[in-house]
Protein backbone atom coordinates (compact mmCIF):
# COMPACT_ATOMS: atom_id res chain seq x y z
CA UNK A 1 0.00 0.00 0.00
CA UNK A 2 1.27 3.43 -0.91
CA UNK A 3 0.42 6.59 1.06
CA UNK A 4 0.19 9.66 -1.18
CA UNK A 5 0.37 12.91 0.80
CA UNK A 6 -2.28 15.36 -0.36
CA UNK A 7 -1.23 18.08 2.06
CA UNK A 8 -1.28 19.26 5.64
CA UNK A 9 -2.97 21.96 7.69
CA UNK A 10 -2.35 23.48 11.10
CA UNK A 11 -5.34 23.79 13.40
CA UNK A 12 -5.68 25.59 16.74
CA UNK A 13 -7.40 23.35 19.27
CA UNK A 14 -9.67 24.44 22.14
CA UNK A 15 -6.89 24.14 24.73
CA UNK A 16 -4.64 26.62 22.83
CA UNK A 17 -2.59 23.69 21.54
CA UNK A 18 -1.74 23.39 17.85
CA UNK A 19 -2.38 20.25 15.81
CA UNK A 20 -0.88 19.30 12.47
CA UNK A 21 -3.38 17.48 10.26
CA UNK A 22 -1.93 15.33 7.45
CA UNK A 23 -4.14 14.07 4.62
CA UNK A 24 -3.34 11.00 2.53
CA UNK A 25 -4.81 9.05 -0.37
CA UNK A 26 -4.05 5.34 0.03
CA UNK A 27 -3.32 3.38 -3.15
CA UNK A 28 -3.51 -0.41 -3.06
CA UNK A 29 -3.71 -3.21 -5.61
CA UNK A 30 -6.34 -5.90 -5.10
CA UNK A 31 -6.83 -9.16 -6.94
CA UNK A 32 -10.32 -9.59 -8.36
CA UNK A 33 -11.89 -12.76 -6.95
CA UNK A 34 -12.06 -15.69 -9.34
CA UNK A 35 -9.60 -14.12 -11.80
CA UNK A 36 -5.94 -13.27 -12.08
CA UNK A 37 -6.84 -9.64 -12.80
CA UNK A 38 -5.78 -6.87 -10.46
CA UNK A 39 -7.31 -3.47 -9.85
CA UNK A 40 -6.09 -0.42 -7.99
CA UNK A 41 -8.23 0.79 -5.12
CA UNK A 42 -8.02 4.07 -3.24
CA UNK A 43 -8.74 4.92 0.36
CA UNK A 44 -8.34 7.98 2.56
CA UNK A 45 -6.38 8.60 5.76
CA UNK A 46 -6.02 11.51 8.19
CA UNK A 47 -3.35 11.91 10.86
CA UNK A 48 -3.61 14.44 13.69
CA UNK A 49 -0.27 15.27 15.32
CA UNK A 50 -0.13 17.13 18.63
CA UNK A 51 2.68 17.66 21.09
CA UNK A 52 1.57 14.62 23.10
CA UNK A 53 -0.14 12.27 20.68
CA UNK A 54 -0.73 11.03 17.14
CA UNK A 55 -4.27 10.08 16.18
CA UNK A 56 -5.15 8.53 12.82
CA UNK A 57 -8.01 6.92 11.02
CA UNK A 58 -8.39 5.48 7.55
CA UNK A 59 -11.09 4.24 5.22
CA UNK A 60 -9.92 1.64 2.68
CA UNK A 61 -11.21 0.75 -0.79
CA UNK A 62 -13.43 3.81 -1.16
CA UNK A 63 -13.12 3.95 -4.96
CA UNK A 64 -11.24 2.53 -7.93
CA UNK A 65 -10.80 6.01 -9.42
CA UNK A 66 -7.72 7.96 -8.37
CA UNK A 67 -9.17 11.35 -9.33
CA UNK A 68 -12.29 10.71 -7.23
CA UNK A 69 -10.16 9.84 -4.19
CA UNK A 70 -8.08 13.01 -4.59
CA UNK A 71 -11.20 15.17 -5.08
CA UNK A 72 -12.69 13.72 -1.89
CA UNK A 73 -9.50 14.30 0.07
CA UNK A 74 -9.09 17.88 -1.21
CA UNK A 75 -12.61 18.61 0.08
CA UNK A 76 -11.84 16.95 3.43
CA UNK A 77 -8.57 18.89 3.73
CA UNK A 78 -10.21 22.19 2.81
CA UNK A 79 -12.63 21.71 5.72
CA UNK A 80 -9.80 20.72 8.11
CA UNK A 81 -11.54 17.53 9.18
CA UNK A 82 -9.99 15.45 11.93
CA UNK A 83 -9.57 11.66 11.98
CA UNK A 84 -12.60 11.14 14.21
CA UNK A 85 -14.88 12.53 11.47
CA UNK A 86 -13.41 10.66 8.50
CA UNK A 87 -15.63 7.58 8.33
CA UNK A 88 -18.91 9.51 8.72
CA UNK A 89 -17.93 12.10 6.13
CA UNK A 90 -16.81 9.47 3.60
CA UNK A 91 -20.10 7.60 4.06
CA UNK A 92 -21.96 10.85 3.35
CA UNK A 93 -19.82 11.51 0.26
CA UNK A 94 -20.35 8.13 -1.38
Instruction: With cut-offs at 50, 70 and 90, classify the pLDDT of residue 8.
Output: very high
Q: pTM of whole model > 0.75?
A: yes
pLDDT score, position 23: 97
Contacts of 46 (CB under 8 A, 6+ apart): 21, 22, 23, 24, 56, 57, 58, 76, 81, 82, 83, 86
Amino acid sequence: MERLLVGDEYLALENDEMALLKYFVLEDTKRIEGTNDKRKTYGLEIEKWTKHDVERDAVYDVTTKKDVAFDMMYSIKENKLMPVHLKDVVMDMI
